[in-house]
Amino acid sequence: MITRLSQLFVRTLREDPADAEVASHRWLVRAGYIRRTAPGIYTWLPLGLRVLKLVEEIVREEMDAMGAQEVRFPALLPREPYEATHRWTEYGQNLFRLKDRKGGDYLLGPTHEEMFTLLVKDLYSSYKDLPLSIYQIQTKYRDEARPRAGLLRGREFVMKDSYSFDVDDAGLDASYEAHRQAYIRIFDRLGLDYVIVKAMSGAMGGSASEEFLAISASGEDTFVRSPGGYAANVEAVSIAAPATVDAGDLPAARAVDTPGTGTIVELVAAANAAFPRADRPWTAADTLKNVVFKLVHPDGRSELLIVGVPGDRDIDAKRLEAAVSPAEAAPVADDDFAANPALVKGYIGPVSVVDGAAVQHLGAEGPLKVRYLTDPRVVPGTAWITGANVIDTHLVDVVAGRDFTADGVLDVAEIRDGDPAPDGSGPLSLARGIEMGHIFQLGRKYAEALGLKVLDQNGKLVTVTMGSYGVGVSRAVAAVAEATCDDHGLAWPRALAPFDVQVLATGKGEEIAAAAEQLALDLDAAGLRVLLDDRKASPGVKFADAEIMGMPTSVVVGRGLVDGLVEVRDRASGDRVEVPLAEAVGHLVALVTA
Ligand code: ATP
Ligand code: MG
């Protein structure tokens, strides 16, 4: 059956939607693939739905091929399982919670570890039943703080999530590897340019965890790579801490007047003017910058957290977010400083000098009892210029381990181009990506919390070990659009195009319309998926819409028809060739099935 554009439920738009920040969002809306229903919530129109189903089918085929079985859970879920794993609370504001008419608590599933675990517990009880991998392609709900870029970060989105169940660690490794290979095939078939990077295991405490990132400047994730093959999301980079140094005979920490030096730049300038070093100038890396955050826990509790980092580095917001999750680190306001007079804004430091002696000011040891964590570079023996906790005053030669002890290490400073890879494999380079998939060895956390055990070979009850694996299915529609679109519209790869060929009847006259119609029918009979632009519209409108809608190939039946010719256009390259009408079907079938 051919689809006629005159009948298709679609309107292309001449104007960009006001909220579109990225090209894929702009074109998916303008080409009539999706419509916004609410922030981060989209309606799929016929063209968009065709692409979504193609992505789903690729994912489904590869999951089935690796031996996983498809199931489908509801999106509306009871509270209890999520209470048992603490995620009812830990998910914080990202969880859509609701009540039924009897006052019972429900949620819209953000991910389904709990439900899969309970389902397997419900049905299976022996090691003989395992290994098992089950999956679903289903709608997820997350009340994202920043829904963004159309389908890329929605509050309702389609995910493929699968879960593996094994009796032992070797089984989990095998299930993880099978998923990894399936994901490689999926993202290859989607035609994405992607990298596999080490990911953050986070609070779930699992071991192996990797993300598949589509390389894209529009991505929200930053990853690093080294020439020696190291690849990680910046969130997951643990820098190699330098060796402890011998502070030797460094003088005691002493206070220096540094008026008007509330910033690192001002401080370095003042230091070089007032107390220059003999061997080299002071730099920002000699200073210890102490940044105050308010840590807000999922249950609403909050506490101050101070992070000490070398002054030449900023704190990376995403690394911080990942490191403190499920708590959130909020910046502190002026009234927080007002409420804590011992925190002198611009002059905070781990140590104060009292009666000529250095005493610890921050951390569990200090009088404030405020949590103080330092960058891994702040190893024992390193000396710093840092705030004296007195306005317009800094301390020089504050030595870590000698003058103060932090409560722990927090590795959240920015990673920069050229920084050494933690495994010694060369300098890192940074790029951005869109997280398309995540594979993750969960281990026994969920099985333990929900009591999923099976009898092993010796008749002993053992806790099952699990993996959790996600693919952003609706996100993939946007990511592929983002990677392939140009200044004129969408440009689908063949595997994801809603139609193989768009046939355009351009020019007046019954003959052209009839020839276009016949060609469309012949292409359809040859097995191609055909969209026929049979509208009473000008050639200019039809050409522009074909470019916006982005079918990989279009055929123009128009002026050339008098000579028995049609024009075949390649959307991605812009190449055009004239082909005899009589050979058009063979030519197009060869293109599409190449
Ligand atoms: P992100 O860091 O982008 O928020 P995540 O770590 O929360 O992703 P997972 O919980 O691992 O993601 O979900 C599995 C997959 O689902 C992700 O790899 C991504 O492709 C997709 N996904 C996650 N959140 C969204 C969203 N808000 N909109 C669309 N797709 C999403
Ligand atoms: Mg997320």
Paired residues of 580 in beta bridges: 565
pLDDT of residue 204: 46
Sheet holding 105-108: strands in order across?
A: 76-78, 105-108, 96-99
State the alpha helices, DSSP H only, in 244-383.
264-274, 317-324, 334-339
Ligand 2 centre from 144 Cα, in Å? 7
Atom of ligand 1 nearest to the CA of 472: 20
Fold held by 254-409: YbaK protein (3.90.960)
Architecture per CATH, 501-593: 3-Layer(aba) Sandwich (3.40)
Whether 501-593 and 44-215+433-476 are alike in CATH topology: the answer is no
Q: Tell me if 215 sits within 8 A of 193, measured CB to CB.
A: yes
**What residue has token string 């276009």?**
516
Q: Which residue type does 171 have?
A: G
Task: Determine the Cα–Cα distance for residues 359 and 575; give it in Å rounded to an integer.
Answer: 74
Ligand 2 centre from 19 Cα, in Å? 21
**CA nearest ligand 1 atom 29, residue:** 153
Architecture per CATH, 44-215+433-476: 2-Layer Sandwich (3.30)
**Which ligand sits closest to the CA of 152?**
1
- Contacts with 565 (C-beta within 8 Å, 6 or more apart), sequence order: 578, 579, 580, 581
Sheet holding 501-505: strands in order across?
A: 3-4, 530-533, 501-505, 553-557, 565-570, 576-580
**CA nearest ligand 1 atom 3, residue:** 435
By most ligand atoms within 8 Å of CB, the mutation choice from 141, 155, 159, 439 for ligand 1 is 159
| Domain ranges for the chain | 44-215+433-476, 254-409, 501-593
3-class DSSP assignment, residue 480 = helix
**CA nearest ligand 1 atom 23, residue:** 472
Omega of the bond leading into 341 within 30 degrees of 0 (cis): no
Q: Tens-of-pLDDT digits for all 594 residues of the chain?
A: 999 999 999 999 998 888 888 999 999 999 999 999 999 999 999 999 999 999 999 999 999 999 999 999 999 999 999 999 999 998 888 999 999 999 999 999 999 999 999 999 999 999 999 999 999 999 999 999 989 889 999 999 999 999 999 999 999 999 999 999 999 999 999 999 999 999 986 544 446 899 999 999 999 999 999 999 999 999 999 898 888 888 788 899 999 999 988 889 998 999 999 889 889 999 999 999 999 999 998 888 989 999 999 999 999 999 999 899 889 999 898 888 888 888 898 899 999 988 888 899 999 888 888 999 999 999 999 999 999 999 999 999 999 999 999 999 999 999 999 999 999 999 999 999 999 999 999 999 999 999 999 999 999 999 999 999 999 999 999 999 999 999 999 999 999 999 999 999 998 889 999 999 999 999 999 999 999 999 999 999 999 999 999 999 999 999 999 999 999 999 999 999 999 999 999 999 999 998
pLDDT of residue 205: 45
Task: Determine the Cα–Cα distance for residues 234 and 188; give it in Å rounded to an integer.
Answer: 24
Query: Pick from 519, 499, 535: which is nearest to 582 by CA?
Result: 519
Say how many C-beta atoms besides its own lie within 10 A of residue 123's C-beta.
9
**CA nearest ligand 1 atom 25, residue:** 153
User: What is the dihedral sign for C-alpha 525, 530, 535, 538?
Assistant: negative
Task: Determine the Cα–Cα distance for residues 19 and 586; give it in Å rounded to an integer.
Answer: 43
By most ligand atoms within 8 Å of CB, the mutation choice from 111, 210, 211, 435 for ligand 1 is 435
Task: Determine the Cα–Cα distance for residues 491 and 55; give it in Å rounded to an integer.
Answer: 16
Q: Pocket around ligand 1: residues whose beta carbon is below 6 Å from it?
A: 111, 142, 144, 153-154, 157, 159, 435-438, 470, 472, 474-475
The values of phi and psi at residue 593, to 5°, are -95, 5
Q: Tell me if 533 sits within 8 A of 5, measured CB to CB.
A: yes
**CA nearest ligand 1 atom 24, residue:** 153
DSSP character for 551? -
**CA nearest ligand 1 atom 11, residue:** 438
**CA nearest ligand 1 atom 18, residue:** 437
Ligand 1 centre from 242 Cα, in Å? 34
Q: Tell me if 17 sits within 8 A of 36, measured CB to CB.
A: yes
pTM for the whole structure = 0.91
Ligand 1 centre from 25 Cα, in Å? 17
